[in-house]
Amino acid sequence: MSGSRPRWAATWRPNCWRTADAANSPNGNLHVPTPERTTIGWDIGGAHVKACLLQGGEVVDVAQWGCPLWQGLDHLARALQAARVRWPAFDAAQHAVTMTGEMVDLFPDREAGVRGIAAALAAALPSRPGALHFFAGDAGWCTPAQVTRHWEHIASANWLATARHAALVFPQGVLVDIGSTTTDLIAFGNDCVLTTSRTDAERLVSGELAYHGVVRTPVCALTQRIEWRGQASHVMNEFFATTADVYRLCGELDPAHDLYPSADNAAKSLPATRQRLARMVGLDERDATAEEWLELARAWRAAQVEAIGSQLRRVLAAHALSREAVIVSAGCGAFLVPDLATGVGASNATSVPHRFASYGSGVADVARHAAAGITAWAQVCAPSVAVAALFEREHD
């Protein structure tokens, strides 16, 4: 999550924020637990903590907090305390946890990361026996005492929870979860996940993990050359701008998903955004018109769509999904999914599913009485919803 620290990383302190977007989401064959049960699902990342409140098997609230975990576990403690204040049922709830934050360079290695996060959660969450459960993929669910033995199954397994949840709803498909930092491309069918990959290292080889997101990815990671104003230019390999600048200028990034400071720690206004993108090609904002800078942002956007699309093409080819399969979109970058599918289909080399569903409205079972906004946030925070739903399904 944070092998190298931008200049703002040492001092930034996030403000907690919360969200929501309501809709109905009938989930055909999902088992509905007893109405009185309350479960909180957690997705502990290196940059964000995402959480979902499930009551009676339905999503009633979803929240996300900025959490620069590489700066210390105190940021995680603050997010947990914010959740306790937000949800009165916190102490009486069951807690189901998945994580990716073990990768941050706060920890000497991934095992220490899993153990450190688990210990922090065990110290902060309800102390009664049987209240805290860690999603361990093929190893099932672990208690805090079992974490050390199963740390490799617990590490970075959030994608597996989301894909398994989608596989319970649709007979065949591919999960495309585009987040702030990474993208998961996971084929599923016959009620299970089709890939044999389980670790990030394996998924980097198979193409099922793209280290591309729509907020935190440095723009220089998207391509080495960019077409703009009728010519191709090499780009500066500096942390001058991020994909948040690209999608802010394109008008596609929800400000609620843009929690981290900009690359230069300056404003997120359109002029300041143009200035950051201008640096990538050796210019200043005054050297082009607003429309030309928008064209440059769109060129960066196209480069990212092509980069992620090339990996989606590999995943679809590897699993020979039919055109009747469903592309399930998730994450704060779900707005890219239609263009990804169009680009992959245009290659004529791969059969591309022509059916689409959003995780928030097509997989997550959002309560009718949930506040406006919850469905959209279930989409953004899909792993936290999935881990809560899977836990309730398997423990009722």
Tens digit of pLDDT for each residue in 56-97?
A: 999 999 999 999 999 999 999 999 999 999 999 999 999 999
Q: What is the pLDDT of residue 34?
A: 46
Q: What is the pLDDT of residue 28?
A: 36
Q: What is the pLDDT of residue 3?
A: 39
Domain spans, the chain: 16-162+364-395, 170-214+308-361, 219-303
Integer Cα distance of 25 and 359 in angstroms: 9
- 24-59 burial code (b ≥16 CB/10 A, e <16): ebebeebeebeeebbbbbbbbbbbbbbbbbbbbbbb
Q: Options 3.30.1280.10, 3.40.50.800, 3.40.190.80, 3.30.420.40; which CATH number does 16-162+364-395 get? A: 3.30.420.40
Q: Which class in CATH covers the domain with range 170-214+308-361?
A: alpha beta
Q: What is the pLDDT of residue 165?
A: 98
C-beta of residue 346 within 8 angstroms of C-beta of residue 364: no
Q: What is the pLDDT of residue 6?
A: 36
Integer Cα distance of 360 and 21 in angstroms: 9
C-beta of residue 350 within 8 angstroms of C-beta of residue 319: no
Q: What is the pLDDT of residue 324?
A: 87
Tens digit of pLDDT for each residue in 142-172?
A: 999 999 999 999 999 999 999 999 999 999 9
Largest pairwise CA distance in the chain: 65
Tens digit of pLDDT for each residue in 86-138?
A: 999 999 999 999 999 999 999 999 999 999 999 999 999 877 889 999 999 99
For the chain, the average pLDDT equals 90
Q: What is the pLDDT of residue 128?
A: 82
Q: Nearest Cα to 281, choosing from 324, 232, 247?
A: 232
Integer Cα distance of 83 and 390 in angstroms: 21
pLDDT along the chain (396 residues), means of 10: 34 34 33 67 97 96 97 97 96 97 97 98 88 96 97 98 97 97 96 95 97 97 96 97 98 96 97 98 98 98 96 92 92 96 73 89 96 96 98 90
Domains 170-214+308-361 and 219-303 share a fold: yes
Topology (CATH level 3) of domain 219-303: Nucleotidyltransferase; domain 5 (3.30.420)
Q: What is the pLDDT of residue 348?
A: 57
pTM, two decimals, is 0.88
